[in-house]
Amino acid sequence: MRPNDRMTDTRQSTINLVSRYYAAFNAGDVEGMLACLREDVVHDVNQGGRRHGREAFRAFLEHMKRCYAEQAVDLVVMANDEGTRAAAEFVILGAYHQTDEGLPEARGQTYRLPVGAFFEVKGGRIARVTNYYNLQDWIAQVKGV
């Protein structure tokens, strides 16, 4: 195998990993998502804090599942040649079912929101997840502005 072939295989392995993560997300498969993560994963929440560890990520997913029903569509995943970094761009189609603290009241509102996510990968698992979306756009959509 030539060095460029190894890089392509590594990049593709990372793209496959991130794609599996979103397939599990769309299936509502918390365990499937967690299986893609390192035990010491770092999660940077959009306009929020930094959470450490798989169990903190599990708590976040359970909270999100209570308040929202979401699907990632139009997913595009990219990775560097070494497979250590990846990015995903997609649209979240969602419904807001239970009021989330500090946010507008939930009444089953639907929304469509562009999202960017960035990943660090180590040892074949996701070591960091950073999500970005326009919170003001989401608030306007659920308020009906």
pLDDT tens for each residue of 88-107: 999 999 999 999 999 999 99
Asked whether the predicted pLDDT for residue 4 surpasses 70, the reply is: no
The CA–CA distances, whole Å, from 32 to 14, 29, 70 equal: 16, 5, 16
Q: Domain residue spans in the chain?
A: 3-143
pLDDT for res 60 = 93
**Range 3-143: architecture per CATH:** Roll (3.10)
Asked whether the predicted pLDDT for residue 122 surpasses 70, the reply is: yes
pLDDT for res 7 = 52
The residue that leads in pLDDT, 9 or 113, is 113
Asked whether the predicted pLDDT for residue 132 surpasses 60, the reply is: yes
The CA–CA distances, whole Å, from 119 to 60, 94, 132, 140 equal: 17, 22, 12, 28
Q: DSSP for 7-76? A: HHHHHHHHHHHHHHHHHHHHHT-HHHHHHTEEEEEEEE-TTS-EEESHHHHHHHHHHHHHHEEEEEEEEE
